[in-house]
Amino acid sequence: MKVAIQGERGSFSEQAAHKLLAAEINLVCCASFEDLFTVVKNGKAQAGVVPIENTLAGSIHRNYDLLLESGLEITAETNLRIEHCLIGTRGARLEDIRTVLSHPVALDQCRRFFKRHRHIIARQTYDTAGAVQNVLRDGDPRVAAIAGLAAAKFFHGKVLAKNIEDNQENFTRFFALEKPHARRIKKRDSAGGRKRKTSLVFSTKNVPGALFRCLSVFALRDINLSKIESRPQHGRPWEYLFYVDLLAGVEEERTCNALRHLEEITEFLKILGCYLTV
Amino acid sequence: MKVAIQGERGSFSEQAAHKLLAAEINLVCCASFEDLFTVVKNGKAQAGVVPIENTLAGSIHRNYDLLLESGLEITAETNLRIEHCLIGTRGARLEDIRTVLSHPVALDQCRRFFKRHRHIIARQTYDTAGAVQNVLRDGDPRVAAIAGLAAAKFFHGKVLAKNIEDNQENFTRFFALEKPHARRIKKRDSAGGRKRKTSLVFSTKNVPGALFRCLSVFALRDINLSKIESRPQHGRPWEYLFYVDLLAGVEEERTCNALRHLEEITEFLKILGCYLTV
């Protein structure tokens, strides 16, 4: 099974892909999220795994836009605890490190580490695991990378410090995405009996109280929302698309009724997927 | 009057600062938004001007976080039409350009230009006007920058192409920020008789239908919302702060009633400012 991720082997995306899909997968590593969506759309990979939200940094808004543009379907979600390590070459020692490479979000989540080590300079890269790869390839014992433990293992780096993130309540939510109407990949075991979630996107009519009325279709039927996110509509300044996650499956009668009701009062409505948390 | 902006002279932020405050201002140019908020908090500038949202790229989420952390107050807003120019050295010609520097958001908004000129490489910088400054300083006629017309004028660059943005419905919304309880800077003329807007942030109690109930306090009093935005709460995974803009002033009776009602059903509530659009 071919699965597309953004970034290098050993990344958090690879960990999420194993958790979501299977222990044995062939990874297709993409340089950008745009490439990842294209690879899955073109069938060069059967599924893609993308981060959609981090509990500290917030939503990865570009991926909401790409999800809608691509027409791909969400088929599973998972949450990954993000633990950052400082990873150097095999001969490296923490006291010798002068430069640290990582993705800007990872660097930002380790501010206290940089305050404690003021002589260390942070340098941005496009990917955490890719930073480890660069450090090991270049072999300079004064340069280290911030990434997950999996990246240290994959590239045989030396872990110089563990759990250097400021805030331990650091989770990233990942989606598995597949082409609609394709034969579904069987997902890894999920907690039995748990309810499915449904993600959808809509635009309201441009009238007062429009969003309030849209949310009423769920509140009136005791359907809980776990998330609401707004994104601008291109070409329509100051108008928005709303992305909503429901704690209910599309097969439930109350959901069918709510969606029919929502259709009456929205300009645009699309179901992005109905899925289990694994 | 000292006004802090992020980036260099000649930027869209400078244009917004003049529109919001006065023709004659002393600009304090800051390298980052963090620095800008600190400079205003410490009184080294009387006001700060920050972009908060673009109609194509969406909200500048970090500035919502900084606004809440800083305790500064929104005292005016304005919208600026974003028109991108290609700006080179005095002897430059469009056909010779091989590299174009600009802020990642500006580069992203000129994708069609790069598709039409496939031999040109895009390189990211931290600021549009700063890119023009670099191009003029280095003097290489094969290198150009993407920025507004004001930057070309300020740095005496040559405009090689105008309106190279993909989408003309490209506006950025800017806030003027000042310390609360400070003597207010008199804002530039605004359209007479127009209503004020109020921005606030709240967190709901973690119960079903909580956001719906919060929005009801406005819907029940015919108060229109022009925007709603969610941001994660640090240390409380999958819980959110909601930023809301009301098309009503805090001095109106219906707003007072709505806010009192909202206080009953929220865990946290803060008014970020009540202001005119100039």
| Set B37, B154, B155, B174: catalytic member | B174
Tokens of A138: 């270049």
* B212–A218 C-beta distance less than 8 A: yes
CA B54 from chain centre, in angstroms, equals: 7
Among A168, A231, A238, most B C-beta atoms within 10 A, so best to mutate, is A238
Record: contact A171-B237, CB cut-off 8 A: yes
Task: For residue A205, count CB atoms less than 10 angstroms from its CB and return exposed for 0-12, middle for 13-18, buried for 19 or more.
Answer: exposed
Q: Strand A2-6 relative to strand A26-30: parallel, antiparallel, unpaired?
A: parallel
Among B55, B171, B228, whose Cβ lies nearest the Cβ of A211? B228
Q: Which residues on B lie below 8 Å from A208 (Cβ)?
A: 222, 224
Query: Alpha-carbon distance B31 to B28, whole Å?
Result: 10
Nearest to A231 among B58, B224, B227 (CB): B58
A238 Cα to chain B: minimum distance (Å)? 6
Closest alpha carbon to B237 in A227, A243, A50 = A227
Closest alpha carbon to A174 in A164, A188, A184: A188
Q: Kindly determine whether residue A54 and residue B232, on different chains, have CB atoms separated by under 8 Å.
A: yes
- What local confidence, expressed as pLDDT, does residue A57 receive? 86
Q: Provide, as residue numbers in chain B, all residues whose Cβ is less than 8 Å from the Cβ of A231.
A: 58
- Residue A125 is predicted with a pLDDT of 87
Cα-Cα-Cα-Cα dihedral of B136, B11, B14, A65, to 10°? Answer: -170
Pairing of strands B26-30, B2-6: parallel
| Residue numbers in B near A222 (CB within 8 A) | 208-209
Q: Residue B230: which of A215, A222, A228 has the nearest Cβ?
A: A228
- Tokens found for residue A126: 């496009």
The minimal CB distance from A55 to the residues B58, B219, B238 is found for B238
A172 in catalytic set: yes
Answer whether B171 sits within 8 Å of A235, measured CB to CB: no
Q: Which helix (H) or strand (E) holds B92?
A: none
Q: What is the pLDDT of residues A102-152, one digit of tens each?
A: 998 899 999 999 999 999 999 988 889 999 999 999 999 999 999 999 999
Q: In whole angstroms, what separates CA B213 from the centre of its chain?
A: 30
What is the amino acid identity at position B10? Answer: G
Clarify whether A174 is annotated catalytic.
yes
**DSSP one-letter string for A131-186:** HHHHHHHH--TTEEEEE-HHHHHHHT-EEEES---S-S--EEEEEEEE-TTSPPPP
Closest Cα in chain B, distance from residue A63 (Å): 12
Of the partner residues A58, A213, A231, the one whose CB lies closest to the CB of residue B231:
A58
What's the whole-number average pLDDT of chain A? 93
Is the separation of the CB atoms in A77 and A278 below 8 Å?
Answer: yes
- Residues in B whose CB is inside 8 Å of some CB of A read 53-58, 61, 167, 169, 171, 208-209, 211-213, 215-216, 218-219, 222, 224-232, 234-238, 240
Among the listed residues A172, A198, A204, A266, the single catalytic one is: A172
Sort out which chain A residues have CB atoms less than 8 A from B235's CB and list them. 167, 169
Q: Which of A146, A155, A143 is nearest to A10 (CA)?
A: A155
What residue of A is the nearest CA neighbor of B234?
Answer: A56
Helix H or strand E encompassing B99: strand B99-102
CA atoms of A250 and A77, how far apart (whole Å): 16
Go through the domains of chain B in sequence order and give each one's CATH number: 2-79+170-178 (3.40.190.10), 85-161 (3.40.190.10), 197-277 (3.30.70.260)
User: Which residue out of A12, A114, A174, A218 is catalytically annotated?
Assistant: A174
d(CA B22, CA B43): 19
Name, in order, each residue with C-beta under 8 angstroms of A146's C-beta and a sequence gap of 6 or more: A84, A85, A86, A87, A100, A101, A102, A106, A107, A110, A128, A131, A164
- Residue among B211, B233, B247 with most chain A CBs within 10 A, to mutate: B211
CB burial class (10 A; 0-12, 13-18, 19+) of residue B264?
exposed
Cβ-proximal residues to B245 (8 Å cutoff; 6+ apart), any chain: B197, B198, B199, B225, B226, B227, B228
Tokens representing B206 are 């973690």
Identify the three-state secondary structure at position A24.
Answer: coil
pLDDT, block means (10 residues), chain B with 278 residues: 93 95 93 95 97 91 93 96 96 96 92 94 90 96 96 96 93 96 69 81 89 95 92 89 95 96 96 94
Which of the residues B212, B227, B236 would you substitute to probe the A interface, choosing the one with the greatest number of A C-beta atoms within 10 Å?
Answer: B212
Q: Which pTM was predicted?
A: 0.88
* Closest C-alpha to A128, from A149, A156, A99, A113: A149
Name beta bridge partners: B266.
Answer: B204
Per-residue pLDDT of chain A (278 residues; tens, 9 = 90+): 999 999 889 999 999 999 999 889 999 999 899 999 999 999 999 999 999 999 988 899 889 999 999 999 999 999 999 999 999 999 999 999 999 999 988 999 999 999 999 999 999 888 899 999 999 999 999 999 999 999 999 999 999 999 999 998 999 999 999 999 777 777 765 556 678 999 999 999 878 889 999 999 999 999 999 999 899 998 889 899 999 999 999 999 999 999 999 999 999 999 999 999 99
Nearest to B167 among A215, A222, A234 (CB): A234
A76 Ramachandran zone, left/alpha/beta (phi>0; psi -120 to 50): beta
pLDDT of residue A191: 53
Residue A229, strand partner residues: A243
**Smallest CA–CA distance from A221 into chain B, residue:** B209
Phi-psi region of B20 (alpha: psi -120 to 50; beta: other; left: phi over 0): alpha
Q: Using CA atoms, how far apart are residues B94 and B92, in angstroms rounded to an integer? A: 7
